[in-house]
Amino acid sequence: MNALRLSKYQRETIRRERREVLSVLLPTLITYCDFSPASDYLFEVRSNVEHIANMCNQAYVSWDKNGKNRVRYDTVLNAIQMLEDAELITVLREYDRLGQKHKPMRIFLNVEFFLMFNITEKELRKILVDFHKYQFVNNRVNQTFERYKKHLDKLENKGVAGIKQHYSLKNLLIKRRKDLLGEHVIKFVSQRKPVNYLDLDIESDVFKPCFRSFADCNTTEEVQKLRKRLYDKERIRQRAREKAANDILYRKALKESYMTDLQHYAS
């Protein structure tokens, strides 16, 4: 968060209203986060943004000129955008071309998200494995797998942004899970009836570093890299907006051409 503000040439102190939103948003994201290490992707927030905004008491109703009302939660969306720019969360967005609207987004907490709470890699890894052991001891492993399958089916039926076509993001999430858990932990949590759940030695595997320290994130070099990544993302979004505007103008001109031809043939 500090590096993000430095990269945008902003003061390091966050405004009071933004801090208040974050103080209720971060616990809510953790509450709805999937901590099962057996899931395909770690730390998915299993809730839509509107429900999260309601739980944060940040949703309100507005009316347009035609008298139609809609639920708005701009403060939560802005906070999510800030967390995404700081590379603390990963947001999957998708546009429905047939319905001409944006699909509900999916949110994944990055491993660096837990660095804010002073949680080390070892502690986070132990939390995930202990949760899986707890599920096994209480005969809930099969129930966890079934719930995850129902969750994926529910996302597909409700038209939520799908990850199948986003190959780079899909591979990135798989890599994050592999780097944090390691090969033998992934193999362990994939078992429906693990036989070595008591004597599993987590630290016997070789893990890749997932966390960056506070000092590493705030170096001049890291701030410059983050600034460049934000600039590249903004250029991609700007190109998408320009393409959408050009498509609208093209369709409008094509429609006018058709109308002119029809009038010519009619006369």
- pLDDT value at position 209? 62
Give yes or no: residues 74 and 17 share one domain.
yes
* Closest to 207 measured CA to CA, from 177, 169, 171: 177
**pLDDT tens for each residue of 94-114:** 877 777 778 888 999 998 898
Inform me whether the pLDDT recorded for 239 exceeds 60.
yes
Does 171 share its domain with 190? Answer: yes
Q: Average pLDDT for residues 237-247, to the nearest whole number?
A: 85
Mean pLDDT of the 61-68 span: 79
Domain termination residue (choose one: 178, 194, 212) = 212
The closest alpha carbon to 29, from 102, 86, 91, belongs to 91
Query: Quick check: helix, strand or coil at residue 70?
Result: strand
CA-CA distance, 138 to 55, in Å (whole number)? Answer: 30
* 127 class by beta-carbon count within 10 Å (0-12 exposed, 13-18 middle, 19+ buried): middle
Counting the structural domains of the chain, the total is: 2
Domain range for 156: 2-212
Average pLDDT over residues 21-34: 92
More confident residue, 263 or 105: 105
Region for residue 222 given its phi and psi (left: phi exceeds 0; alpha: psi -120 to 50; beta: otherwise): alpha
**Band of residue 200 on the pLDDT scale cut at 50, 70, 90:** low
Using the 3D structure, point to which of 168, 191, 212 is the last residue of a domain: 212
- Residue 126 and residue 130: Cα distance in Å, rounded? 6
Summarize pLDDT for 70-84 with one digit per residue, the tens. 888 889 999 999 999
Predicted TM-score (pTM) of this structure = 0.82
